[in-house]
Amino acid sequence: MVVFGPNGSGKTNLLEAVSLLVPGRGLRGARMAELSRFGGTDWAVAARFSANGEALDIGTGTAPEGGSDRRVFRLDGAAPRSQAEIGARVAAVWLTPQMDRLFQEGASGRRRFLDRLVFALEPTHARIVAAHDVAVAGRNRLLSEGQADPAWLAGLEDSIARHAVAATAARVGLVTRLNAASMEGATGGFPPARVGLVCPIADRLASAPALQVEDWLREALAAVRPTDAGTTSLGAHRADMTLEDAENALPAALASTGQQKALLIGVVLAHALLIARARGFAPLLLLDEPAVHLDAGRRAALFRALENIPAQVLLTGTDAETFLPLCDVAEGLEAGGGMLRLDARFMPPGPMSDAPEGLY
């Protein structure tokens, strides 16, 4: 599905709304208060998914009773037991123009990108990373206050060690499988990328059992307490992701903006196929302005790859013409004035659509 329209017509808002249908803070990482219309407090998004002939309704938004700072989910009209239940049924991965700077900025953005790829493979990864970060924040607080109880610190370091090893093992697993999928041609002709993990925990996991790595990390954290004043220098939060062109080994950090964008696209294409194979359903791909910075050859390769990918893809751009090569396989929607209008040059809407003609 292609959404086009002038700047400010709400294309990215639409992608963000879709990104909120999976657990997490969505495409912008926005806080709850930033999600409603200007002047309003409540919001909601609902969608019907169709996979293997079965329909699945997912909704999310502010709680009907209990204030606008609480977000609730609905799965087929009922409250799910946990957000992981939603994560077990749908996944989404996105690329936004802000990610064009992913390799110029700090490691946290790259880690978030990598973790989102892991969530799609293992929905419980989100909970493990969150628990790890709570333990790190607690340790930082105790260290910055000084005179911390050593046994309390050891308890928090035990939590950090257990969750850091579990999170790192999940990241390593994803990276290994992703690179293997890329090498097998999962990017459908688009130049493949190779993902790497810069992480001492991952290095140790390559040669030692997980429980042994936990013991090492526990001891190492205890040893660095005197120099860790208000920070934690070891853990899953210190990992970084690298990316290079699988064909010429050019690292993303040295590549041009367009080359970097192509590398990221290569990753999400391979990832979509990996998830489809591993879990039986592909993640939603939300590509905000994917064609910007891409040369004609890469653009054509992207469109060819998207034609064959098992995932549903939402693309945005300012001009319909850019996406005309996809007109036989994609619906085209023009955004503007708070509405979406079908563009007749593209494919007619699929059987799921029961919207009035010409208007979504």
Partner 1 sequence: MGGPEVDRLISLLAKLPGLGPRSARRAALRMLLAPEARMLPLAVALAEAARSVRPCGVCGNLDSRDPCSICADPERDASIVCVVEGVGDLWALERAHVHRGTYHVLGGTLSALAGTRPEDLNVAPLLARVGQGEVAEVILALGATVDGASTAHWLADRLRPLGVAISRVGQGVPVGGALDVLDDGTLAAALRGRRPA
Which residues would be at the binding site for partner 1 (CB under 8 A)?
65-66, 84, 122, 124, 127-128, 131, 134-135, 137-139, 141-142, 149, 151-152, 154-156, 158-159, 162-163, 166, 169-170, 210-211
Query: For partner 1, which is the closer residue by CB, 211 or 296?
Result: 211
Q: How far is the CB of 68 from partner 1 (least distance, A)?
A: 15
Q: How far is the CB of 128 from partner 1 (least distance, A)?
A: 6
Q: Are 26 and 83 in contact (CB under 8 A)?
A: no
Q: How far is the CB of 274 from partner 1 (least distance, A)?
A: 18
Q: How far is the CB of 139 from partner 1 (least distance, A)?
A: 7
Query: For partner 1, which is the closer residue by CB, 143 or 287?
Result: 143
Query: For partner 1, which is the closer residue by CB, 239 or 333?
Result: 239
Q: How far is the CB of 65 from partner 1 (least distance, A)?
A: 6
Query: For partner 1, which is the closer residue by CB, 158 or 240?
Result: 158
Q: How far is the CB of 63 from partner 1 (least distance, A)?
A: 10
Count CA atoms within 13 Å of residue 60 on its CB side: 23
**What's the Cα-to-Cα distance from 226 to each of 144, 156, 222, 259, rounded to whole Å?**
11, 16, 9, 43
Query: For partner 1, which is the closer residue by CB, 152 or 310?
Result: 152
N-to-C CA span, the chain: 13
Q: How far is the CB of 114 from partner 1 (least distance, A)?
A: 17
User: Whole-angstrom Cα distance, residue 94 to residue 268?
Assistant: 8
Q: How far is the CB of 227 from partner 1 (least distance, A)?
A: 19
Query: For partner 1, which is the closer residue by CB, 5 or 123?
Result: 123
Query: For partner 1, which is the closer residue by CB, 156 or 265?
Result: 156
Query: For partner 1, which is the closer residue by CB, 110 or 125?
Result: 125
Q: Are 242 and 252 in contact (CB under 8 A)?
A: yes
Q: How far is the CB of 103 from partner 1 (least distance, A)?
A: 30
User: Whole-angstrom Cα distance, residue 290 to residue 266?
Assistant: 12
